[in-house]
Copies of this chain bind each other. A is one copy, B any other.
Amino acid sequence: MNAKLYVCTTCRAGEPVVEGQPVPGARLHAALTAADAPDGVTIVPTECLSACSNGCAVALAGPGRWSYVYGRLTDADAPDILSGAAAYASTADGIVPWRERPVIFRKQSLARIPPQEN
A contacts, CB < 8 Å to B: 4, 6, 44, 46, 48-51, 54, 57, 59, 61-63, 67-69, 71, 109-114, 116, 118
Contact = CB atoms under 8 A, between A and B. Distances in A.
B51 A110 contact: yes
A46 B67 CA distance: 14
A111 B63 contact: no
Given A49-B113, A50-B112, A59-B111, 11 more contacts: A6-B114, A48-B112, A49-B112, A50-B109, A51-B109, A51-B110, A61-B114, A67-B116, A69-B111, A110-B110, A116-B116
Tally of this chain's copies: 2
Contacts of A116: 4, 61-63, 67, 116
A113 B63 contact: no
Nearest to A52: B109
Nearest to A8: B111
A49 B62 CA distance: 17
A4 to B, nearest CB: 8
Contacts of A57: 111
A61 B67 CA distance: 11
